């Protein structure tokens, strides 16, 4: 196992505590998270259910439909062939695939991978995204690619699943093999990913986390099987994987990775931001099969995915050799928000460092009628984290321990209790039983539950 920086283990310990409460508070069906450091998986956790109707508990071994993460695998396949001298990024798609509209035939392979070929996103009827129709077979995809592109190539970033479907046809033309066969062997297996396939069906014994609908329509969540083949669009959206395998794979795409299926030069080219999404609410760019952005000063690249009943996201922080993958199995899944929350925790610990040993008694979750609060030691202080928030450590108040079981609120907002005392109260056994922050008394979950039931229902 790679030696970890001192700040990382305590961060990894708090992330599941926070995420477990997020799952409880939001009543999401399921969530799986994995974090890699320098190519090694250092955290795996799963919460909730793989199938609400069946009561099947979600585990880290359950696979998810990870949808557009597929584009990063497809791009890796093209770049691997490029390293072998079999294709160039400025080759026209029409050199490999016949029957295309002339303007699509002249689009380059690089434009397909960067979503700048101007090709329609999902075709004139994309009912396959909501299970009203099967995903397109090769004949149907080719028929739609015979129509003119939507806009002129190389004028703006325009996301296109059809464009990546065409990239899959390019791979088949170059290799003389079905897309799934070649990519499984030369990318998935080469990257030593034991829980990943380019599409369904899954291998015998593999478990699939089912997708789920939202609650607003019916007052309950429907279960979506999630087992439909994506056929000719597998290169755009077919992949099935686990959080751990995605963290492994995307970690290998970092230019800093110690081992990879691609050269350093290819990885740099793949993750390099190229085209801005000028209409996005948060700044993001697209490279070759990767999405780039930043979180509070941490530059990141990766991809996200949306499949009926699944929302997923993976991000790599090259400067810290971290890869984080968060997978959810509902149409309103919070993988984007929760991945950012995990990054916030990691960043806070990386800045403040591992907690001093003498702060251990100040760690824990304490409850009041307003909900839980977490005391989280970092460095030489204790932060008052809010597990109910998407970013539990954002502008969190801080305690400075001043003596045995005594502290001062040394940082807080204007409407909090800056400068006031805090203290631990111990029970007869010597363990901490209560926490007093200024004039507020917080107790264990069980103690508060008993108190409230006695007061209001007794």
Here the tokens at position 436 are 């007093």
Mean pLDDT of the chain: 97
Q: Which fold, 357-457?
A: Lipocalin (2.40.128)
pLDDT tens readout for residues 36-95: 999 999 999 999 999 999 999 999 999 999 999 999 999 999 999 999 999 999 999 999
Which pLDDT score is estimated for 57? 98
Which pLDDT score is estimated for 280? 85
Here the tokens at position 429 are 């056994």
Continuous H helices in 206-242: 234-237
Where do the domains of the chain lie?
1-351, 357-457
Which pLDDT score is estimated for 458? 83
Tell me if 1-351 shares its fold with 357-457: no
Q: Give backbone dihedrals phi and psi of 214, rounded to 5 degrees, phi first.
A: -85, 170
What's the rounded Cα separation, in Å, for the pair 342 and 156? 32
Cβ–Cβ < 8 Å for 387, 372: yes
In DSSP terms, 109 is beta-bridged to none
Q: What is the mean pLDDT of each run of 10 residues along the chain (458 residues)?
A: 89 98 98 97 98 98 98 98 98 98 98 98 97 98 98 97 98 98 98 98 97 97 98 98 98 96 98 92 94 96 98 98 98 98 98 97 97 98 98 97 96 95 97 97 97 95
Which pLDDT score is estimated for 1? 52
Q: Which fold, 1-351?
A: Beta-lactamase (3.40.710)
Q: pTM score > 0.75 for this model?
A: yes
CA 71 from centre of chain: 15
What's the rounded Cα separation, in Å, for the pair 281 and 297? 17
Angle between helices 243-252 and 70-83 in degrees, nearest 10 = 30
Closest CA to 250 of 66, 112, 2: 66
């Amino acid at each position: 196992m790679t030696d970890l920086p001192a700040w990382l283990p305590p961060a990894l310990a708090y992330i599941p505590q926070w995420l477990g409460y997020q799952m409880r508070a939001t009543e999401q069906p399921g969530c799986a998270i994995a974090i890699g450091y320098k190519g090694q998986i250092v955290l795996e956790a799963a919460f909730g259910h793989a199938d609400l109707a069946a009561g099947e508990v979600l585990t880290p071994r359950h696979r998810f439909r990870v949808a557009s993460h597929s584009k990063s695998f497809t791009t890796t396949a093209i770049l691997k062939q490029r390293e072998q001298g079999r294709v160039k990024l400025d080759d026209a798609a029409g050199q490999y695939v016949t029957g295309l509209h002339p303007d699509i035939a002249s689009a380059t392979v690089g434009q397909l991978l960067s979503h700048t070929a101007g090709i329609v996103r999902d075709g004139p009827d994309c009912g396959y995204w909501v299970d009203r129709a099967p995903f397109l077979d090769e004949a149907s995809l080719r028929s739609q690619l015979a129509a003119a592109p939507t806009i002129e190539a190389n004028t703006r970033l325009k996301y296109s699943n059809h464009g990546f479907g065409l990239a899959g046809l390019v791979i088949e033309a170059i290799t003389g093999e079905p897309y799934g066969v070649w990519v499984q062997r030369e990318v998935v297996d080469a990257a030593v990913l034991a829980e990943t396939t380019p599409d369904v069906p899954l291998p015998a014994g593999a478990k699939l986390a089912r997708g789920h609908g939202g609650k607003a329509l019916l007052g309950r969540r429907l279960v979506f099987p999630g087992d439909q083949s994506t056929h000719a669009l597998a290169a755009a959206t077919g992949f099935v994987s686990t959080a751990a395998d995605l963290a492994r794979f995307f970690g290998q795409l970092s230019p800093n990775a110690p081992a990879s299926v691609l050269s350093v030069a290819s990885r740099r080219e793949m993750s390099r931001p190229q085209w801005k999404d000028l209409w996005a609410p948060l700044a993001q760019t697209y490279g070759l099969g990767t999405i780039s952005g930043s979180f509070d000063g941490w530059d990141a690249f990766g991809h996200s995915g949306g499949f009926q009943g699944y929302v997923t996201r993976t991000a790599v922080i090259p400067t810290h050799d971290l890869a984080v993958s968060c997978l959810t199995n509902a149409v309103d899944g919070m993988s984007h928000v929760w991945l950012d929350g995990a990054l916030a925790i990691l960043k806070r610990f990386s800045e403040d460092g591992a907690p001093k040993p003498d702060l251990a008694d100040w760690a824990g979750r304490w409850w009041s009628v307003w909900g839980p609060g977490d005391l989280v030691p970092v460095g030489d202080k204790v932060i008052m984290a809010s597990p109910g928030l998407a970013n539990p450590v954002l502008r969190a108040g801080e305690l400075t321990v001043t003596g045995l079981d005594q502290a001062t609120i040394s940082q807080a907002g204007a409407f909090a209790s800056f400068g006031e005392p805090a203290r631990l109260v111990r029970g007869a056994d010597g363990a901490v039983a209560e926490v007093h922050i200024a004039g507020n008394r917080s107790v264990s979950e069980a103690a508060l539950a008993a108190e409230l039931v006695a007061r209001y229902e007794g």
